[in-house]
A = this chain, B = another copy of it.
């Protein structure tokens, strides 16, 4: 193989596919990026067997061929090369020369015959969504997946298309996050569970432009995200997702509206008084037009007041402050509404249009705590 590419092209390609390189494996080939130069196309691929990414870059093929290069050293060499043309040439024994201006580097590559290519995915049932919407919905729900592998389904997100509504749902046993966006057309219903880790990586390589589209193609076993000149394929999680509808009620006894950033800054301060290990709740006391926020631990105590608009009963309730912050950070509005029932029922952050919904279970607090 002999190819000539601009550094910027190679760097962009390597950055994109690197997200699917497995660095923790003992299988050498999974730590590699495969470069294929055939039929006028230079394609880079990485595949950790759960997630696979391939992308096509611009460049000149001087001699067809392929090589699998260790991703870490290869990407570092490209990164540290001057912003110029890079020439890559393989010798028969796998030795690969990477040349740029006065610099000659050599590393050992592999033939790549044992490299696992991305499965072919039919483009029949395609759903189109803007890069912006997909990136946002992922980022605004991904924090509440579970990292506990014993609850495999909770490590994924429910991706659902109903008519022209696209939604992502995640839950970890303490909270539920739902984000919905409207697509530009209607599609047949879809419900699949996508591994959270794969969604995270997809979100990182999406440009986030509102005008750029992503096509989702779904089969029994896989989902493919294709955009620009990149294809991302990930396995789906098997199983039936939790029925969250029965947990979501629109009843409430207390509704408060509060300035989002003020609330967030207050929670951020309260984090000084919590250690992840001792799980001290933050206590919210809602009374007429103010909410008192209190936390007390071995480290010290904090107490602060925020102005609120309240409908319904006064209420005292305790939460894990991080769960509240995560939800507040994922909402774009200046003011947020919180719906509550009593001190042991979950609270819900939601908007009138049902674009977002964050449900959080409270922590039981004794009278002694406040």
Residues on A close to B: CB < 8 A?
73, 76-77, 80-82, 102-108, 265-266, 268-269, 272, 299-306
Q: Which residues of B are found within 8 Å of A306, using beta-carbon distances?
A: 102
Q: Take A80-B269, A80-B272, A268-B80 as given contacts and tell me if A302 and B73 are in contact as well, using a CB distance cutoff of 8 Å.
A: no
Bound-state Cα–Cα, A357 to B73, Å: 34
Are B304 and A73 in contact (CB-based, < 8 A)? no
Give the docked Cα–Cα distance between A77 and B81 (Å): 45
Query: Are the CB atoms of A302 and B103 closer together than 8 Å?
Result: yes
Contacting pair A102 B305 (CB below 8 A): yes
Residues A300 and B102 in contact in the complex (CB < 8 Å), given A80-B268, A80-B272, A268-B80: no
16 A-B contacts (beta carbon < 8 Å): A73-B299, A73-B300, A76-B272, A80-B268, A80-B269, A82-B265, A102-B305, A103-B303, A103-B304, A104-B304, A105-B269, A105-B301, A106-B300, A106-B302, A107-B300, A108-B300
Among residues of B, the one whose C-beta sits closest to the C-beta of A109 is B300
Q: Closest B residue to A95 by CB, please name it.
A: B300
Least CB distance from A119 to B in Å reads 32
For the complex formed, measure the closest distance between the CB of A302 and the CB atoms of chain B, giving whole angstroms: 5
B73→A104 contact, CB < 8 A: no
Nearest-Cβ distance from residue A13 to partner chain B, whole angstroms: 19
Most chain B CB within 10 A, of A76, A102, A300, is at A300
Chain B residues in 8 Å Cβ range of A272: 73, 76-77, 80
Interface centre among A81, A82, A102, A265 (most CB of B within 10 A): A102
Provide the residues of chain B in CB contact with A81, threshold 8 Å.
Answer: 269
Q: Of B102, B106, B266, B269, which one neighbours A301 at CB under 8 angstroms?
A: B106
Contacting residues, chain B, for A302 (C-beta < 8 A)? 103-106
Determine if B104 and A303 form an interchain contact, defined as CB atoms under 8 angstroms apart. yes
In the complex, A82 Cα to B302 Cα: how many Å?
14
A299 neighbours in B (Cβ, 8 Å): 73, 107
Docked complex Cα distance between A121 and B101 (Å) = 59
Known: A77-B272, A80-B265, A106-B301. 17 other contacts (CB 8 A): A73-B272, A73-B300, A76-B272, A80-B268, A80-B269, A81-B269, A82-B265, A102-B304, A103-B266, A103-B269, A103-B302, A104-B303, A104-B304, A105-B303, A106-B300, A107-B300, A108-B300
Cβ of A82: which chain B residues have Cβ within 8 Å of it?
265
| Minimal Cβ-Cβ distance residue in B for A107 | B300
Distance in angstroms between the alpha carbons of A34 and B333 in the assembled complex = 43
Greatest chain B CB density within 10 A among A103, A107, A108, A306 is at A103
Nearest chain B CB to A312's CB is how many angstroms away? 24
Contact of A105 among B76, B300, B305 (CB under 8 A): B300
Q: A107 contacts which chain B residues (CB < 8 A)?
A: 299-300
In the bound complex, residues from chain B placing their C-beta under 8 Å from that of A106 are 300-302
Chain B minimum-CB-distance residue to A306: B102
